[in-house]
Structure 1
Amino acid sequence: MVRQLHLRTQGGQESSASHPDIVGDRCLGPCLALCPEYCFILEDELGACGCVLGILDVRCFAKRCQASWMPAMRDKYPPKGGNTHPNTQVKLMEEDQGEYPDSLIYHFPSQLRLDALPELVDVSVSRTLLTALLTALKANGSQGVFCEVQPTDRQRLEFLTKMGFLEILRGEARSREGVVLGRLL
């Protein structure tokens, strides 16, 4: 399902025929494996078509990823041949666990990721998924949540702004081109 959702939301592109799950393992797997209570998946008649994934405590999550998720991924996707360098996708997974500024984490200790198919016309469904996640994070003690969005993703920026998110950082996102939006809970 992880692969199916990612492929559907990313236009059907797949990075590696030899490892068909690697894209899903990189983009959705850590949240689904380490904090499933904050993962909400939307399905239609063709399968998964959207999701909202949350992390209650980003710092704790990063430590858990390094301790359990990354070793599992290194075992699952070993270097090819006699190469000692990690698989490119595994290296990208490690970079995905980058550091955020303390000033960000202090006010916004939780993180979310929202993906939906562009043709998902009924934004009330995405709104419902996001509201469910925000409610769960707040009920478990979070005071704020942030997410990274590419500045070119106008539809997502507009949706999150309507949901009460404000731009809090630009250029300090891991992608260095992203915009960090945050919302107090």
Structure 2
Amino acid sequence: MIEGKYHLRPLAGRDIDALYAISLATGLSGGDASALYDDPTLMGAIYSVPYAVLSPETAFVAEDRSGVAGYVIGALDTLAFEAQLEATWWPRLRGNYAEPPRATQTLWTADERRIAQIYHPRRTPLTVAEAFPSHVHINLLPRAQRQGIGTALLSIWFERVRTLGASGIHAGVNPGNSGALAFWQARGMTCLPPISETTVWLGGAIEYLG
């Protein structure tokens, strides 16, 4: 419990709907993206729910009386996880959505841009995944922010992946999400090449992170 209010626990199957909701509510550089999407499940289907299915042993949630207010997810072996996505997760989703035509890319809606990611997923740069093989994501709803909950969730996650043999950890952050960038830097991660318009990569050896 955090200040007697939040319960931190392993993610369970009943939390899937919460992952979809939180991913959407934090999907605009940490802010609410619900006004952008006709399909409210797309953000979660890409960024959070695959972990509940493919790597539940490295997924934890923070829950209060109103429900799940945040989560930490990740994978011990990024390259193996991305291979699993390509083998099982993305094909399933591709069966639900038609690929947007490239000829109209400049006119794509937010939904179509995410659907295009399902057909052409962004891969972690090999230099990042080889130097820091494990990766982590954390998302909190506004009501759970600035209370130490993110730090507490991350502590549990670090403890779990240490027992599984993790060495280096990386995270990817939207360049517009200054709060997330500061969060990871405060925990010992440093910025890594390559630099892109869509992602700032950060990483660190697990023994120095906290």
Query: Fold conserved (TM > 0.5)?
Result: yes
Q: 2:116 aligns with which of 61, 83, 91?
A: 91
Name 2:79's counterpart in structure 1.
59
Q: Does 1:32 align with 2:49?
A: no
Cα 1:29–1:15 shift into 2, 3 Å: farther
What is the CA distance between 1:56 and its match in structure 2? 0.8
Question: 2:25 & 2:90 partners in 1: Cα distance?
Answer: 25
| Amino acid paired to 2:177 | D
Query: Contact 1:166/1:182 (CA < 8 Å) preserved in 2?
Result: yes
Residue by residue, what CA displacement relative to the aligned partner does 1:43-74 show, whole Å, maximum 9, x if unpaired? Answer: 33333321111111111111111111011112
| Amino acid paired to 2:115 | V
What is the CA distance between 1:38 and its match in structure 2? 0.9
Residue by residue, what CA displacement relative to the aligned partner does 1:91-150 show, whole Å, maximum 9, x if unpaired? Answer: 21343342412x322220011111112443444211011111122122111111101113
What is the CA distance between 1:21 and its match in structure 2? 2.3
Q: Does 1:183 align with 2:204?
A: yes
Structure 1: unaligned runs, 5 residues or longer: 81-86
Cα 1:51–1:14 shift into 2, 3 Å: farther
Q: Does 1:147 align with 2:171?
A: yes
Q: Secondary structure at the match of 1:62?
A: helix
Q: Secondary structure at the match of 1:96?
A: coil
Question: 1:34 & 1:152 partners in 2: Cα distance?
Answer: 29
Question: 1:58 & 1:181 partners in 2: Cα distance?
Answer: 14
Question: 1:8 & 1:33 partners in 2: Cα distance?
Answer: 21
Compute the RMSD of aligned alpha carbons.
2.4
Percent identity among equivalent residues? 23
Question: 2:161 & 2:194 partners in 1: Cα distance?
Answer: 24
Query: Contact 1:108/1:144 (CA < 8 Å) preserved in 2?
Result: yes
Q: Does 1:21 align with 2:34?
A: no
Question: 2:125 & 2:150 partners in 1: Cα distance?
Answer: 26
Normalised by the length of structure 1, the TM-score is: 0.81
Question: 1:125 & 1:40 partners in 2: Cα distance?
Answer: 12
Question: 1:8 & 1:44 partners in 2: Cα distance?
Answer: 17
Residue by residue, what CA displacement relative to the aligned partner does 1:130-178 show, whole Å, maximum 9, x if unpaired? Answer: 1111221221111111011133322222221221111122515xxx342
Q: Does 1:168 align with 2:185?
A: no
Structure 2: unaligned runs, 5 residues or longer: 1-16, 101-110
* Number of aligned residues: 174
Q: Does 1:7 align with 2:32?
A: no
What is the CA distance between 1:4 and its match in structure 2? 1.7
What is the CA distance between 1:9 and its match in structure 2? 2.5
Q: Secondary structure at the match of 1:30?
A: helix
Name 1:106's counterpart in structure 2.
130
Normalised by the length of structure 2, the TM-score is: 0.72
| Amino acid paired to 2:129 | I
